[in-house]
Amino acid sequence: MKILVPVKRVVDYNVKVRVKADGTGVETANVKMSMNPFDEIAVEEAVRLKEKGAATEIIAISVGPTAAQEQIRTALAMGADRGVLVEVDGVVEPLAVAKILKALVDKESPQLVIMGKQAIDDDMNATGQMLAALLGWGQGTFASKVEIADGSAKVTREVDGGLETVSLTLPAIVTADLRLNEPRYASLPNIMKARKKPIETVKPADLGIDASPRLTVLKVEEPPKRSAGKKVGSVAELVDKLRNEAKVI
């Protein structure tokens, strides 16, 4: 079984994000960039499936600038076999990413696509669902457990009411949630081996895809600072302030 794992280059989750002075976006110059944490979980799950003998090849794919090769190399060091970089400068919206991934699925014919449920930069949580719709495949989103057997995937999903288990006929799409696994640290020997693994570079046009943005960002700004809280001496005083000051009751 071949597994395709998309990975996204994002600002590292430990970095405090700053808005650009001109309000056109967030500052990325001289900022540490990393693989999206949910995508890292997806790579780990794909590697574990391969170690169990359920998969034979893992392909890491990234859509972004040339520098995104760094995130592909990280996936290769974790255990992916080869990478594909779809080189795009600027913002790429979820629908464009889904169309690009569909073109690569048509080319590579994987039996499973595992990806993060969302990226921490835009929190869209849309690409996996859009890809499933474009392909007409079943999908198991927010996965906390994945089991592969007899041409199907049993996915335990995290939902508002608790856990839900669905059975998907392969090929299928799975999006990884936080509790699916704990990603491994790549060892130094594997990091060295990853340098020799192949990364193919293509453009969206090579796949017949127009990745031009359909949305225009008008302005990005910091959220307003929250005012300090107030202490009250009684329930009656609390009710009075909620009614007359906050005006929420």
The string of pLDDT tens digits covering residues 185-227 is: 999 999 999 999 999 999 999 999 999 999 888 898 888 888 8
CATH code (residue 77): 3.40.50.620
Total count of residues recorded for the chain:
249
Does 239 reside within a domain? Answer: yes
Q: How confident is the model at residue 29 (pLDDT cuts 50, 70, 90)?
A: confident
Rounded Cα distance, 173 and 8, in Å: 17
Please write the tens of the pLDDT for every residue from 97-111. 999 999 999 999 999
Total domains, the chain = 1
Q: Return the closest-CA partner of residue 64 out of 97, 31, 32, 105.
A: 97
Q: Is 126 exposed, middle or buried (0-12, 13-18, 19+ CB in 10 A)?
A: middle
Q: What is the number of H-type helices and E-type strands within the chain?
A: 6, 11
83 confidence band (pLDDT: 50, 70, 90): very high
Residue 132, in any domain of the structure: yes
Of 91, 80, 94, whose CA–CA distance to 40 is shortest? Answer: 80
Q: Is residue 23 part of a domain?
A: yes
What pLDDT, on a 0 to 100 scale, did the predictor assign at position 229? 84
Name the β-bridge partners of 113. Answer: 4, 173
> What's the confidence (pLDDT) of residue 70?
95
Secondary structure of residue 113 in the 3-state scheme: strand
* Residue-level pLDDT at 172: 97
Three-state DSSP class for residue 94 = helix
pLDDT of residue 39: 97
Asked if residue 131 is part of any domain, the answer here is yes
pLDDT value for 86 = 97
pLDDT beyond 90 at 173: yes
Q: How sure is the predictor about 43, in pLDDT bands with cuts at 50, 70 and 90?
A: very high
- 183 within a domain of the structure (yes/no): yes
Q: Write down the pLDDT at residue 52.
A: 94
Task: Please give the pLDDT value at position 240.
Answer: 92
pLDDT tens digits along 112-163: 999 999 999 989 999 999 999 999 999 999 999 999 998 999 999 988 888 9
With respect to residue 130, please indicate whether it lies within any of the assigned structural domains. Answer: yes
Does residue 240 fall inside a structural domain?
A: yes
Tell whether the model's pLDDT for residue 87 goes beyond 90. yes
Is the whole-model pTM more than 0.85? yes
> Domain residues for 189?
2-244
DSSP summary character for residue 23: S
CB 241 within 8 A of CB 230: yes
What is residue 194's predicted lDDT score, i.e. its pLDDT?
Answer: 94
Alpha helices in 7-124 (DSSP H): 37-51, 69-78, 94-108
User: What's residue 118's pLDDT?
Assistant: 95
> What is the tens place of the pLDDT at every residue in 45-61?
999 999 999 999 999 99
Task: Give CA–CA dist 181/144, Å, rounded.
Answer: 8
Question: pLDDT value at position 224?
Answer: 86
20 in a domain, yes or no? yes
At residue 249, the pLDDT reads 86
| Helix pair angle (94-108, 127-135), 10° resolution | 50
